[in-house]
Structure 1
Amino acid sequence: MKRSKDTFNRFVKGDLNGKRSGKPRFKSVRRYRTFSIPQLKPGCLTVTANPHRRKNGSARRDIAYINLPKVGQVKLIYHRPIPERFTIKAALVSHKADGWYITLTLEDKSVPSLKPPEIEATEENSLGLDVGLGRGEAFALTTCATNRSLNSANASPLQTASDGEIEPIQQHYRNSEAKLARLANRKDGKPNKSASRRKLAKKISKHHQKLQRKRKQFHYESATKLVSRDEQVFFVENIKPGNLSRKNKPKQDENGKYLPNGQSAKSGLNKSINDAGWGQFLSILAYKAAKAGKSVVKVKPHDTSQVCSCCNRFEEKDLSVRIHECLCGLIMDRDWNAAINIKRVGSCILPTIKRRKRSRKAATKEAYTVP
């Protein structure tokens, strides 16, 4: 009830900034997959030891029940014990493909609030990170006045560090597209509202849930690997993946006929962006860094891949150009060059690069040095 009221208030009055949301649509009971319980009574969770033993003699999992308002006693799998002195304040019940889950919010007033650490970034204790999708090549870095020895190690990086280290991306959805297409074709061939159709739909949902969990596990492993390094400050791109994966605006002529707008090519890029999960990775990295006493700083990524990290020369290049080649002799991977520039912008070595207006004649203009 509260969620519906808040939705209508945002539609009529708007939020704190005055922005109004769209008109809320009707949602049936089947469409509500989560409901929140803002307050639980003390002692709502009861845990008793399981008297039965396994065949090898080991103890079984404890038997636990939770008392939910207007629902009653619900049995749950008590897989993680609640720490001492913590009290249960709220709960979030969600329905997923493989069953029901409950998330408990705990509170301990003796625990101080976490404050972000204040660390002064230097050349030695900082690292720049550039997230990407394209095919990357690692090169041996030498002086910018000489030619590079190309030591290519082909990979598709999720993130490239300013020291040249890359983390290969795990395209979970791309690797499972064929299997999901076969299951969808089988489901479409079944009669509507039949039991076999529902079983296949549930199977597809479980497979999507498996991909989601594999992606999240990969992000946690990548963030842990970064946090375990000696660097204390991580400079990342301040990006919004939701805006990057938007559809192109339709184009119409004078007669109202729709013209090609490049959405066919953009759809594949949007799919890869959503499969990479940049937003989830950066949020997990910020959480892991704060837990380890380190900090994550977001910087503006405008044209960081267009500026040379050696001589500050700006030269516009297309997204398909994956190698950065400058007149000063610097030849390196595009994402590596961007990661170095991100670190320079975050360390105030290079001023924030302002976004330039794109024009058709921009490619013919001579390159110039960033002031």
Structure 2
Amino acid sequence: MAAEPKPTLPDLIATQIRANGPMSVANFMGLCLTHPAMGYYKNADPLGTAGDFITAPEISQMFGELIGFYVVNLWQQMGSPKAFTLMELGPGRGTLMADILRVACRAEGFRDGLDLRLFETNPALIAEQHARLEPYGPQWVDALDKVGDGPLLVIANEFFDALPIRQFVRGENGWHERVIGLEGDNLVFGLSPTPIPNAALPDVVQDAEIHSVFEVALAGGEVMSRLARTVSTQGGAILTIDYGYNQTQTGETLQGVARHGFANVLDNPGAIDLSAHVDFEALGNVAAKSGLNVHPLATQASFLDRLGLTDRTKALSLANPSAATDLAAASARLTDANQMGTLFKAFCAASPGLTPPGFY
């Protein structure tokens, strides 16, 4: 007798909704992205031209090399500690960290003190990270507090945008949480009938117009809080580069991406990437509560320019003239306003007394 087919992730989501009622956007995102067996980030390699999107480290080695300068500069500002942790959240294929370490390990004593931790859950990506980073003795961790006792330097490129968000919609009698339910067998958006008092939301959105959408990244805030508490105690800095906005505001930014194009958020759960713009003001408020200095938010273009992207592009072009056109195109893609230059921001929260390069 043939075995019954295993339930798919859409089946599981539908079963949960039928049993418990509509689920929050955050719960839906969590299942779609990180379900232990069927989540998007647990299975396929989403990166590159054959995947769903391309990140900055895949565009040019210069991106990681400049962050390598940022890392070693901070390490030196801290007195070149003989033991420190460098942690990357969501390291992809290991490309960014390989480029970082190629530069940073030129500094005397850096590699000797390095404790490399990688926060990753995708088996296929872990294998690629191992292939690129094995000489540096990486350790893969599943918790943010699994670090050494020395200073902690955190790198997170396009990580916070993939953490679950909750959405609230302004109605006539207050805010209502957006939920996901079923219409027949199809997933659909709806609103919780229970209003949330206007005063429960931040002051900046209390006068929002009817039908406005407000997104709250509780998971992102919790990640930042845990990291900030460790850095506050042990010293160090947190760098995150992502697309987002400077100040807390209304606006619907949840999106699905597949094969380098936009996709319906509710289509093919577990098979498409889901993300939302990062509220950097909210992250900064969390970090500041732990005693860290939150440095002025920079566009990706200004951050890379201050780190020397123009000079690095020229140097590589002189060393390899046949690659000059490609190098110029990569530099433009990273910094032009109509590409990644202004949509993506660089955020840094650091121990008092540190002056992170790229932010001044």
Q: Same fold (TM over 0.5)?
A: no
Q: Which has the larger radius of gyration?
A: 1
